[in-house]
Amino acid sequence: MRIEALELFWIKMPMVGKFTTSFGTTQEREILLVRANAGGAGGWGESGADGVPMYSYETAATGWHIIERFVAPIVLAEDWPEQGTATAFAERFAGWRWHPMARAAVEEALWVLEAERSGVSLRSLYAGDRPSRDRVPVGISLGIQDDFAVLAGQIEDALGQGYRRIKLKIEPGKDVSVVEPVRERFGDIPLMVDANCGYRNDPQALEHLKALDRFELLMIEQPLAHDDIAAHAPLQAELATPICLDESIHSVRHAARAIETGACRLINIKASRLGGRAVALAVHDLCAAHDVPVWCGGMLESGVGRLHNIALASLPNFQMPGDLSASRRYWQQDIIDPFVEVDAEGHVTVPDTVGLGHQVMIDRIEKNLVRYARLSG
Ligand code: OSB
Ligand code: MG
pLDDT digits (tens, 9 = 90+) for 179-230: 999 999 999 999 999 999 999 999 999 999 999 999 999 999 999 999 999 9
Give me the pLDDT at residue 196, please: 98
pLDDT digits (tens, 9 = 90+) for 24-49: 999 999 999 999 999 999 999 999 99
Q: Report CA(349)–ligand 2 centroid distance (Å).
A: 23
Give me the pLDDT at residue 110, please: 98
Q: From the CA of 221, give the closest atom in ligand 1.
A: 1
Q: From the CA of 301, give the closest atom in ligand 1.
A: 16
Burial of 184 (0-12, 13-18, 19+ CB in 10 A): exposed
Give me the pLDDT at residue 377, please: 81
**Ligand 1 proximal residues by C-beta, below 6 Å:** 55, 141, 194, 196, 246, 297-300, 323, 325
Mean pLDDT value across the chain: 97
Q: From the CA of 306, give the closest atom in ligand 1.
A: 16
**Test site for ligand 1: of 21, 138, 310, most ligand atoms within 8 A of the Cβ:** 21
Q: From the CA of 297, give the closest atom in ligand 1.
A: 2
Q: From the CA of 246, give the closest atom in ligand 1.
A: 1
Query: What is the set of active-site residues?
Result: 169, 270
Phi, psi of 244 (to 5 degrees): -115, 130
Contact (Cβ atoms closer than 8 angstroms) between residue 375 and residue 9: no
Q: Report CA(142)–ligand 1 centroid distance (Å).
A: 9
User: Is the pLDDT at 344 greater than 90, yes or no?
Assistant: yes
Report the pLDDT averaged over residues 141-162. Answer: 97
Contact (Cβ atoms closer than 8 angstroms) between residue 298 and residue 306: yes
pLDDT digits (tens, 9 = 90+) for 261-305: 999 999 999 999 999 999 999 999 999 999 999 999 999 999 999
Is the overall model pTM greater than 0.85, yes or no? yes
Length of the chain: 377
Residue closest by Cα to atom 8 of ligand 1: 299
Q: Report CA(169)–ligand 1 centroid distance (Å).
A: 9
Percent of the chain with pLDDT over 70: 100
Give me the pLDDT at residue 64, please: 98
Report the pLDDT averaged over residues 319-343. Answer: 98
Instruction: Identify which ligand lies nearest to the alpha carbon of 19.
Output: 1
- pLDDT-derived band at 352 (thresholds 50, 70, 90) equals very high
**Test site for ligand 1: of 141, 168, 169, 224, most ligand atoms within 8 A of the Cβ:** 141
Give me the pLDDT at residue 351, please: 97
Give me the pLDDT at residue 47, please: 97
Residue closest by Cα to atom 4 of ligand 1: 299
Residue closest by Cα to atom 1 of ligand 1: 196
Residue closest by Cα to atom 9 of ligand 1: 299
Q: Report CA(274)–ligand 1 centroid distance (Å).
A: 15
**Test site for ligand 1: of 222, 243, 299, most ligand atoms within 8 A of the Cβ:** 299
Residue closest by Cα to atom 14 of ligand 1: 298
User: Is the pLDDT at 159 greater than 90, yes or no?
Assistant: yes
User: Is the pLDDT at 372 greater than 90, yes or no?
Assistant: yes
- pLDDT-derived band at 142 (thresholds 50, 70, 90) equals very high
